[in-house]
Amino acid sequence: MDALDGGVQSCVEEIAGQLIDPGAVTGAADGSDAASGPERDELRKVWDPASLAVGYPGISLLFSELSYQDESYRSVAHRYLELSLDAIDPRGTQGLYSGLTAVAFALRAAQRTPRDYQAALAGIEKLIEAYAGQVLAAEGRRLAERASATTFAAYDSVSGLTGIGRYFLLDPVNRLDVLRRILTYLVGLTEPVWIGRRELPGWWVGHPAAMEEAPGGAGHVNFGMAHGAAGVLALLSLSWASGTRVPGQEAAMSRIADWFLKTATRDEFGVRWPSSLKLSEYLDDSYRPLQRRPSWCYGSPGIARSLQLAGMALGEVRWLDCSRDALLAALRRLDVQQDIRETGICHGWAGLLHTVHVMNRTLDLAPLDTCRRQIARTILDSRSEDARFSFRVRHSGDAQNLDVPGFLDGAAGTALALMSSICGDPPKSGWDRALLLS
């Protein structure tokens, strides 16, 4: 173990120690330990006990993975899972990162045998299947018209059917019917829709790309892994590679992948994509969007991984070449622009670290391995001595420098990415399947 690997291991152990007591974590995470003001208000916004992104299920992933190194961590994961189960609210959105599916994913990650958590999973999965059926029925009616836009909550990786489909792909044998229905829906989603006499991609959404934008307008098309076409392509590719396939799936994968190649632009660093495009931007062939930071949720790295998965699944060299070129271009761009400000998985260094690491298992390029080590050092150098959970979220709403323990933006996810970066094998708990990277 060299100095970098030792530093990573020490940092992971430090974070595990900070997160080992769920009661203490809750007080820091939900704002009850904070003074009144923007910090406390923002902490309450970014803490949801039953969320994979910002709650107990996401933190449990760290201890489920660590338990393969130290068996004593299994009991810590179990305590977080008990709190997750207690926090479930069967009302509202039940996507991969919230509620029922979030908790079920965490339970699956903690399993060592099919019997573990079997009773809890059986009940939860029936509710997830019923929820998915409701969304599928509503989307089926919409697609029959092919004249209106979809929503993130209906189709995306975080809150929609793509994420739920990724969950059911963990055990396709027992939930094959609902998984096939979801895949069939996503195949249909790749067919164009007609809105205002214009032909648009089938995953066109009717709401703005960002919450701060005014409602109304003609909506947008989203490119990313979290909320856009990359997530759909990733799931279709992963299911194809696993042998779970539906009619039209290969053509659907080709439609999305070729759309990515068609919509790519180039700058001095190489190929890139926008995060999203409004109608006026999408219709303007000369429009050149502002550069987005290279991240998992939006930006070229997540798109590149989805193209790599599709290229490997169908043996399409064009997609594989584009995925490699896009990742290398994003890293060259980052080296000059230095526009990543956070350490977390969603849109920070940890997400980029894990994406580079996963893609390079196939590419096996020395420059990417060098980059992996550089990113890991950058993350280690970002630690704050007075932070509750080693790292701080620099900006969230009106607050700055927040102590966030969770998976997508917080310390648990950063620790998982760091730990994976010094391991040759994929994560034993399968935690990164929640990112649709594997």
Q: Lowest mean pLDDT: which of 5-19, 76-90, 273-287?
A: 273-287
**Element spanning 8, H or E:** helix 3-19
pTM attached to this predicted model: 0.95
Residue 214 has pLDDT above 60, yes or no: no
What percentage of the chain has pLDDT greater than the value 90?
80
Distance between start and end Cα atoms, the chain: 26
Q: What is the pLDDT of residues 232-247, one digit of tens each?
A: 999 999 999 999 999 9
Residue 408 has pLDDT above 80, yes or no: yes
Q: Note the pLDDT of residue 338.
A: 83
Q: Note the pLDDT of residue 207.
A: 87
- Residue 365 per-residue DSSP state: -
Residue 438 has pLDDT above 80, yes or no: yes
**Element spanning 333, H or E:** helix 317-337
Please report the DSSP string for 124-189 in residue order.
Answer: HHHHHHHHHHHHHHHHHHHHHHT-S-B-HHHHSTTTSHHHHHHHHTTSTTTTHHHHHHHHHHHHHH
Q: What is the pLDDT of residues 319-345, one digit of tens each?
A: 999 999 999 999 999 999 888 999 999
Q: Note the pLDDT of residue 352.
A: 97
Q: Note the pLDDT of residue 44.
A: 65
Q: Note the pLDDT of residue 394.
A: 80
Please report the DSSP string for 77-112 in residue order.
Answer: HHHHHHHHHHH---SS--STTBHHHHHHHHHHHH-S
Q: Considering only CA atoms, which of 339, 353, 342, 345 is closest in space to residue 396?
A: 342
Q: What's the CA gap between 81 and 246, in Å, rounded?
A: 34
Q: What's the CA gap between 313 and 11, in Å, rounded?
A: 36
Q: Note the pLDDT of residue 147.
A: 83
Strands 270-272 and 399-402: unpaired
Q: How confident is the model at residue 139 (pLDDT cuts 50, 70, 90)?
A: very high
**Residue 395: strand pairing partners:** 400
Residue 46 has pLDDT above 80, yes or no: no
- Residue 41 per-residue DSSP state: H
Q: Which residue has the higher pLDDT, 20 or 392?
A: 20
Q: What is the pLDDT of residues 349-401, one digit of tens each?
A: 999 999 999 999 999 999 999 999 999 999 999 999 889 999 988 865 556 67
Contact 97, 54 (CB under 8 A): no
- What mean pLDDT do residues 135-161 have? 95
Q: What is the pLDDT of residues 245-294, one digit of tens each?
A: 999 999 999 999 999 999 999 999 999 999 999 998 999 887 777 766 78
Residue 37 has pLDDT above 90, yes or no: no
Does residue 402 sit in helix, strand or coil?
A: strand
Q: Note the pLDDT of residue 182.
A: 99
- What mean pLDDT do residues 192-198 have? 90
Contact 149, 205 (CB under 8 A): yes
Residue 212 has pLDDT above 50, yes or no: no
Q: Note the pLDDT of residue 53.
A: 96
Q: How confident is the model at residue 36 (pLDDT cuts 50, 70, 90)?
A: low
